[in-house]
Structures are given as C-alpha cells and as structure tokens.
C-alpha cells in the first residue's frame, strides 16, 4: 500500500510552471532527506490557461493563473501552491499566505528577436509582439514608432510566433527563459532601471494555508530572506496602487546590506504619461517603503489618470 505523500504541490501545467514546481519538489526532497516521489505534483488548469482568445487584462487580470490553485489549497486538496509571484493578485484570499520565496532569478526583461540585436536596432514601424500592457506602454514610450501586436501563449508558442514572422521581436522575462534552458534565445537585456520589470518578476512564491503549521515548517527551509524583502516591497506597492493586469506598473528593488531602494513607475497604456519615483530606507521596513512609494505615485498621477483603469 502506497504511503501518503509528505507534501502535495499544486501547479499550472505549462512547461515553465512545471519546471518551477519540480525545482521546489527537488529542493524540498533534498532538504528533508526524502525521495522526490514523496512530494506529489498535482497539475491544476487555471482560468488563465483556458483563456486564449483575448488579453488577460480584459478578463480579470491578475489572479487568473492562481485562483484554481488557491481553491485547491482552501479545499485541502494540495498543501502548497507554487507560483510565478508576478502572476498573483495584490491581495491573497483570506486564510492563505505566501510562506516562502526561492532565491530570485534575473528580474530583467529580455529582448528576443531572430532579426535584430537590440530594441534600438528595430526599424521604424517594426512589429513588437506583447500582450503585457506594461511592456507595451514602456516600448511605446521609448519607441512610439513601433507597432505592438498581441502575443499570447507560453514561452515556446511566442518563440514559434517569432520564427513565423508574426512579429519582429518580443519581450520575455529573462527568469523564465533561464529556467527553461533557453537563455541562448536572448538577444539583449533591458536595463531594469530604464524599463522596470513587473512587480515580483523572477521570484517563485510558495503559498500555503495560514493555519497549516506543518507545511509552514517544511517549506521554511527554502525561504530566501533577501528575495522575501524585495517581494514585500513590490507587493506592498502593488496593493497600494490596486495593481492589476490593466495597470502598467514597473518596479525594481535594490538591496544594499541593510538598506533598500525601490524604484517604480506607472504609465498610461499608450506610454505618453509616466509617473516615476524612488524611495529608500531600512530593508526590514520594505513593505512600508512599498506603500509609501505607491501613495507618492498616486498623488503625482491624480484621480484623472487613475480613472482610466477603473471599471
């Protein structure tokens, strides 16, 4: 008779999500001296996976890649959810918490093209494939001559679309390409201060029930404290801005010993309006810094700017 698994991981079924879940599985098995088979991976199809006919921003935004996994957590069907932290809603459901973060990967966006080496090398009128409104807004601000075309799909699908000539270039998270062993497809990296990435980009988050002390103890060994600090700052910023997939928000956190500097920007979807600022303070007050910067940006932008993201 097969024994019950030590832990049950809930994850999406994409290649990247599975790679991330398998990484967590391996690290947990090594940390607790068990075989990988003792930690079960349960694939859960999410709303975001089923939605292929329109941009995520039109269907509810953030949370579309996590709510079914969170429902399985709440029902006790899995013990932990493994997520790309940038896909999580700014407010988690009651009773769920982010208990640990793996060490953050490269936070930068990567420029990928089979024709051109850099963003600057794109000719006027070139097609840039992206369904991220942040990336689209940042690109249109830097290069208003570009045509942004929709580019939904997983990493392999987007790379295939590039090969097929649907677009001349695209932007992808460097972290995802690295985790899939596809770093060789990167033609250039975007400066994260010039083009701040999505809040929490590059960080794998582990979500559990807040009353599950056993799982909390088991996953605590994986928590990377500096990553937890940067994510605390960026998620507090996101929550203050009420950020969703319909709000172009970029954020970049720099840690220097015990100090933390957070830079962020909010843009209009066409890139014409930009509000940007930075705050600095003690690393152990990262969440407070994120809240402070969010309020500064909201004050600078004013209610007219904010109104375009409501409804």
Residue 46 pLDDT: 72
Residue 60 tokens, joined: 């509810």
Residue 115 tokens, joined: 């024709």
Whether the per-residue pLDDT at 1 is higher than 80: the answer is no
Question: What is the tens place of the pLDDT at every residue in 239-297?
Answer: 999 865 578 999 999 999 899 999 999 999 999 999 999 999 999 999 999 999 999 99
Question: What is the tens place of the pLDDT at every residue in 6-61?
Answer: 999 999 999 999 999 999 999 999 999 999 999 999 999 876 655 555 555 554 55
217 is catalytic: no
Question: What is the tens place of the pLDDT at every residue in 132-175?
Answer: 999 999 999 999 999 999 988 889 999 999 999 999 999 999 99
Domain layout of the chain by residue ranges: 1-104+203-223, 109-189, 224-311
Question: Higher confidence at residue 183 or residue 257?
Answer: 183
Residue 216 pLDDT: 98
Q: What is the mean pLDDT of residues 218-241?
A: 97
**Rounded Cα gap, residues 135 and 249, in angstroms:** 9
Pick the catalytic residue from 79, 87, 168, 212: 87
Strand order across the 7-11 sheet: 39-43, 7-11, 80-84, 204-209, 96-101
Q: Which CATH class is domain 224-311?
A: alpha beta
Q: How confident is the model at residue 190 (pLDDT cuts 50, 70, 90)?
A: very high
Closest of 292, 145, 310, 294 to residue 244, by C-alpha: 310
Closest of 284, 45, 76, 97 to residue 205, by C-alpha: 97
Topology at the third CATH level for domain 109-189: D-Maltodextrin-Binding Protein; domain 2 (3.40.190)
CATH superfamily of the domain spanning 1-104+203-223: Periplasmic binding protein-like II (3.40.190.10)
**Rounded Cα gap, residues 90 and 258, in angstroms:** 25
State the number of CA atoms in the 13 A half-sphere of 25 facing the CB: 19
Tokens 């250039």 locate to 188
Question: What is the tens place of the pLDDT at every residue in 82-131?
Answer: 999 999 998 999 999 999 999 999 999 999 999 999 999 999 999 999 98
Q: Do 109-189 and 1-104+203-223 fall under one CATH topology? A: yes
Residue 154 pLDDT: 86
Note the pTM of the prediction, 2 decimals. Answer: 0.92
Q: How confident is the model at residue 307 (pLDDT cuts 50, 70, 90)?
A: confident
């Amino acid at each position: 008779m097969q024994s019950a698994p030590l832990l049950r991981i809930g994850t999406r079924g994409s290649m990247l999500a599975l790679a991330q879940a398998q990484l967590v599985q391996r690290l947990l098995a090594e940390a607790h001296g068990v075989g990988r088979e003792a930690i079960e991976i349960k694939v859960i199809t999410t709303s975001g996976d089923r939605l292929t006919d329109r941009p995520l921003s039109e269907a509810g935004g953030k949370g579309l890649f996590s709510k079914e996994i969170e429902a399985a957590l709440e029902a006790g069907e899995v013990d932990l959810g493994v997520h790309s932290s940038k896909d999580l809603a700014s407010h988690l459901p009651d009773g769920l918490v982010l208990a640990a973060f793996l060490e953050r990967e490269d936070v930068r966006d990567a420029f990928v093209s089979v024709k051109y080496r850099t963003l600057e090398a794109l000719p006027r009128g070139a097609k840039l494939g992206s369904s991220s409104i942040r990336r689209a807004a940042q690109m249109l601000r830097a290069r208003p001559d570009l045509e942004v075309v929709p580019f939904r799909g997983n990493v392999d699908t987007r790379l295939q679309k590039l090969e097929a000539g649907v677009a001349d270039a695209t932007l992808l998270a460097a972290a995802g390409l690295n985790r899939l062993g596809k770093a060789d497809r990167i033609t250039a990296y975007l400066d994260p201060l010039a083009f701040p990435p999505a809040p929490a980009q590059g960080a794998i988050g582990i979500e559990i029930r807040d009353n599950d002390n056993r799982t909390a103890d088991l996953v605590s060994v994986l928590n990377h404290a500096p990553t937890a600090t940067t994510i605390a700052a960026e998620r507090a910023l996101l929550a203050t801005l009420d950020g969703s997939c319909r709000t172009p928000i970029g954020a970049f956190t720099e840690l220097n010993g015990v100090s933390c500097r957070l830079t962020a920007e909010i843009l209009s979807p066409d890139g014409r309006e930009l509000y940007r600022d930075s705050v600095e303070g003690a690393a152990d007050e990262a969440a407070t810094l994120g809240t402070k910067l969010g309020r500064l940006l909201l004050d600078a932008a004013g209610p007219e700017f904010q109104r375009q993201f409501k409804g």
